[in-house]
Amino acid sequence: MPILTDRSKMEDWIEPDEVPRRIVAYGYAFEHLDKIDLEFHSHVKSQIIMVQSGALSCEMEGGLWIVPPHSAIWIPGGARHTIYASGALKGYSAFIDPDAGPASLHACRAIAITPLLRELLKRAAALPLFYETTDTIIRMQDVLLDELAAATVENLHLPMPRDRRLRKIADRMIEVPAEQLTMNVWASQVELSTRTLSRLILKETGMSFNRWRQQLCVMLAVKWLAAGTTTQQVAGDLGYESVPSFVTMFRNVLGAPPGRYMAERYSRTGLVEK
């Protein structure tokens, strides 16, 4: 499969489920991506989407994941999902036969990408679409699958409520994160009592209202920081009155202030953008 770019045409895409190989991989390099906003869909094969530069979001029923550079999203075969992305976006993706995928990856999750896993995905994407299943290729794919199984899960997941009233609140928070309304105000806007809102969101997400909002802010912050936005700008865009209050929240959730978290992340993966 050719590398997908801004100049790719629909006929350049071949449905991976129709290719009788246990792993079908490709690269993508969009310099000026207007927008990816796919409808909910699924594949028979499981999918790993690795982001080398840029960022994307993946939503499944019950959850939203942010995928910044040097991370990947794992989507099990048969799972209904949608992808959102815009701007410049580069990386690799692979579709894997469900019977060959790691048993530990039974649910959608964001994972950290090691230098070895990145190179294995790159190597897999360089193969012809209908490659010969030689011993060398099989061994390479086995190592790739082992690396996926051992990958570190990243805390970039936001449980999404199914209740239509809670979803209205969630969608508004995602659309306008700087709008820091109190829970009392949110409850009144969807005609719920504060107590009922608190009970419902805990039941549907496993988080308190404030904890859910913090997790949303952290995910958006990581996405924006990875794109080069300053900590000061991120704090403002999230509605924080001061940078220190934002930094404190970020550190409480992810264990390090924004600058150090991003620096350690890039250092840990050993990946440096060229």
Residue 87 pLDDT greater than 80, yes or no: no
Query: What are the tokens at 229?
Result: 């936005």
**How buried is residue 5: exposed, middle or buried, by Cβ count under 10 Å (0-12/13-18/19+)?**
middle
- Quick one: pLDDT at residue 273? 41
**CA proximity to 125, closest of 32, 46, 28, 42:** 28
pLDDT at 268: 53
Confidence of residue 102 (pLDDT cuts 50, 70, 90): confident
Highest mean pLDDT among 49-53, 121-125, 157-161: 121-125
Give mean pLDDT, residues 69-98.
89
pLDDT tens digits, one per residue of 128-157: 999 999 999 999 999 999 999 999 888 889
The pLDDT of residue 12 is above 80? no
Rounded CA gap, 114 and 261, in Å?
A: 17
Instruction: Give the C-alpha separation, 222 to 261, whole Å.
Output: 9
Report which of residues 4 and 143 the model is more confident about. Answer: 143
Please tell me the pTM assigned to this model.
0.83
Percentage of the chain surpassing pLDDT 90? 58
Domains of the chain: 3-150 (2.60.120.810), 161-266 (1.10.10.60)
Q: How far apart are CA 86 and CA 148, in angstroms?
A: 26
pLDDT single digits (tens) 21-70: 999 999 999 887 655 656 788 999 999 999 988 888 898 877 899 888 88
